[in-house]
Amino acid sequence: MNPDVSEVLGLARLQFALTAGGHFLFVALTLGLATVVACLQTRATFGGGDLDARLVRFWGQLYVVNYAVGIVTGIVMEFQFGLSWSGLTHQAGNILGASLAVETIVAFFVESTFLGLWIFGWNRLGRWTHLAAIWIVTLTAYASAYWILVSNGFLNNPVGHRVEGDRLVLDDPVAVLTNPSALLAFGHIVAGALLTAGFFMAAVSAYHLFRRTPEWAFFGRSLRVGVFLSFPALVVTAVFGGLQMSSLATLQPVKSAVFQQETAEIARLQAELAARFGPGDYVPPEAWTRGGALVMLIAFGLMMYFTLAGFVLAFFRTAVFRFRAWHVALIAAVPLPYVAMISGWVFREAGRQPWVVYGLLKTEDAVSDLSPAAMRASLATFTTLFALLVAVNAWLLVRHARRGPADVGLGRDERPDADPGGREDPAGALPVPRY
Evaluate whether 33 touches 203 at the Cβ level (below 8 Å).
no
DSSP 123: T
The pLDDT score that the predictor gives to residue 270 is 92
The pLDDT score that the predictor gives to residue 417 is 52
Q: What residue type is assigned to position 84 of the chain?
A: S
- The structure's pTM equals 0.89
Nearest to 352 by CA among 420, 282, 293: 282
Distances (CA, A) of 429 to 54, 120, 316, 406: 12, 20, 31, 8
Nearest to 329 by CA among 218, 161, 228, 199: 199
For the chain, what is the radius of gyration of the CA atoms? 23
CA atoms within 13 A on the CB side of 41: 28
The pLDDT score that the predictor gives to residue 4 is 66
67: alpha, beta or left? (left if phi > 0; alpha if psi -120 to 50):
alpha
Residues of the chain with pLDDT under 50: 418-435
The pLDDT score that the predictor gives to residue 230 is 94
Distance between CA atoms of 274 and 323, rounded to whole angstroms? 59
The pLDDT score that the predictor gives to residue 98 is 83
Q: 161 has which bridge partners?
A: 170
The pLDDT score that the predictor gives to residue 433 is 39
Q: Taking the mean position of all CA atoms in its chain, how far away is CA 356?
A: 21
Tens digit of pLDDT for each residue in 137-164?
A: 999 999 989 999 999 999 999 999 998 8
The pLDDT score that the predictor gives to residue 435 is 37
The pLDDT score that the predictor gives to residue 249 is 87
140 CB-near residues (< 8 Å, 6+ apart): 106, 107, 110, 111, 114
Distance between CA atoms of 89 and 374, rounded to whole angstroms? 19
Tens digit of pLDDT for each residue in 40-89?
A: 999 999 876 788 889 999 999 999 999 888 887 777 777 777 788 888 88
51 CB-near residues (< 8 Å, 6+ apart): 217, 218, 221
The pLDDT score that the predictor gives to residue 149 is 92
Kind and range of the H or E run holding 20? helix 3-45
DSSP line for 134-159: HHHHHHHHHHHHHHHHHHHHHHHS--
Indicate the domain borders of the chain.
Answer: 3-252+284-407
Distances (CA, A) of 434 to 1, 116, 130, 248, 409: 67, 20, 12, 51, 17
Distance between CA atoms of 431 and 127, rounded to whole angstroms? 16
Distances (CA, A) of 74 to 79, 93, 263: 9, 19, 39
Distances (CA, A) of 415 to 117, 122, 162, 386, 412: 17, 12, 59, 37, 9
The pLDDT score that the predictor gives to residue 423 is 37
The pLDDT score that the predictor gives to residue 428 is 36
70 CB-near residues (< 8 Å, 6+ apart): 23, 26, 27, 30, 393
DSSP line for 318-377: HHHHH-HHHHHHHHHTTHHHHHHHHHHHHHHHHTTTTEEETTTEEHHHHS----HHHHHH
